[in-house]
Each structure stands twice: as structure tokens, then as C-alpha cells.
Amino acid sequence: MVIILIRRCVRPEKEKEFLANFKHPVHSGYIGETLTKVRDPKNLPEPMRSFNVQGENCVTYINVARWKNVECFMECFPPHTPHDIELETEARVRVVLNVVLDDV
């Protein structure tokens, strides 16, 4: 299993539309995912703001996707798929994480 983090920078006025249209993929290699929203760091202590992934002038979401392998993900979502300029302020950013320990 791999975990793929996908940063989505959503236009504030399009947030409801983004959430309404968010769908889980249909693919045999898809295991599951969790959609998260980056919290405004203003009210957090400095040590809780050291991993900055928040985009500018947008609502930042991080999709934590679990896939059988990266090839299955790329089959479903080709690497050069353009972002939706109506909903997003910039291209999606992705990173692939290999699971080292699970449910420790």
C-alpha cells in the first residue's frame, strides 16, 4: 500500500461546489481516502505551524489517499491531468509515501 497526499487549493467562493463534487474513484487499486482541510494557523503555537502546506488566497485541502500501488493511482489519475481552474487557484501538488509501519 502507498499513501498519496494531494494538496488542493480551492477558491474560497467555490468551496461548497468542490465538496459537493468530490467523489471517490472507482478502481480496483483504490483502498480509501480521507479529505482534510488545513486549519488556519493563526491561533496555533509556533511548533504547530512548522509544516506549511497552506496555499495563498485559497482554502487548502489535503487528500490522504490510500492505494494498492502508485501505478494504480497513475492509471486512474494521469500525472499531467490539469487542475480545474474554475475550482482551484493552482495545480495540485502530490507526494507518494511508502508505509513503513501500520497500526503500531
Question: What domains are there in the chain, each with its CATH number?
Answer: 2-42+53-98 (3.30.70.100)
Tell me the HSE value of 78 on the side-chain side, using a 13 A CA sphere. Answer: 3
Give the pLDDT band of residue 29 (cuts 50, 70, 90).
very high
Whole-number average pLDDT of the chain? 92
Give the pLDDT band of residue 40 (cuts 50, 70, 90).
confident
Cα separation, 38 vs 9, whole angstroms = 10
pLDDT digits (tens, 9 = 90+) for 46-91: 888 888 888 889 999 999 999 999 999 999 998 888 889 999 999 9
Cα separation, 61 vs 80, whole angstroms = 20
Give the pLDDT confidence score for residue 22 in this predicted structure.
92
pTM above 0.85, yes or no: yes
